[in-house]
Amino acid sequence: MSYLERVRALQTWEPSAYRPFTADHKRVGLIHRDFIPQLADFGAVLQMSDAEVALAPELGDAASRSAAMAEVLAELRSRDLIPGWRNEPYAVCEDWGTMPLFQMERAAVPLFGTLGYGVHLNGFVRDGDRLKMWVGKRSMTKPTGPGKLDQLVAGGLPAGIGVMDNLIKECVEEAGIPEDIARRAKPIGAMSYCTERPEGLRRDVLFNYDLELPADFQPRNTDGEVEEFYLWSMDQVMDTVRESEDFKFNCGVVVIDFLIRRGFIGPDHSDYLEIQRGLHTALR
CB 24 within 8 A of CB 59: no
Q: DSSP secondary-structure letter at 15?
A: G
- C-alpha 235/C-alpha 233 separation (Å) is 5
pLDDT, the chain, mean? 96
Please classify residue 73 by burial: count the beta carbons closer than 10 Å to its beta carbon, then call 0-12 exposed, 13-18 middle and 19+ buried. buried
DSSP 66-107: HHHHHHHHHHHHHTT-S-S----EEEE-SSTTSPP-EEEEGG
Per-residue pLDDT reduced to its tens digit, 61-104: 999 999 999 999 999 999 999 999 999 999 999 999 999 999 99
Asked if pLDDT for residue 229 goes beyond 90, the answer is yes
Could you give the residue ranges of the DSSP H alpha helices within 109-220?
109-112, 163-175, 179-182
Specify the pLDDT at position 131: 98
Contact predicate 32/17, CB 8 Å? yes
Banded model confidence at residue 15, pLDDT cuts 50, 70, 90: very high
Tell me the mean pLDDT in the region 24-28.
Answer: 97
- Binning pLDDT at 50, 70 and 90, where does residue 227 land? very high
Asked whether the predicted pLDDT for residue 284 surpasses 70, the reply is no
Tell me, what's the pLDDT at 283?
76
**What pLDDT score does 51 carry?**
96
Q: Do residues 113 and 203 make contact, with C-beta atoms less than 8 angstroms apart?
A: yes
The tens digit of pLDDT for each residue in 106-139 reads: 999 999 999 999 999 999 999 999 999 999 999 9
Spell out the domains of the chain, with CATH numbers in brackets. Answer: 3-11+116-278 (3.90.79.10), 15-113 (3.30.750.160)
Q: Give the confidence band of 41 by pLDDT, cuts at 50, 70, 90.
A: very high
Distances 7 to 3, 45, 266 between C-alpha atoms, Å: 6, 37, 16
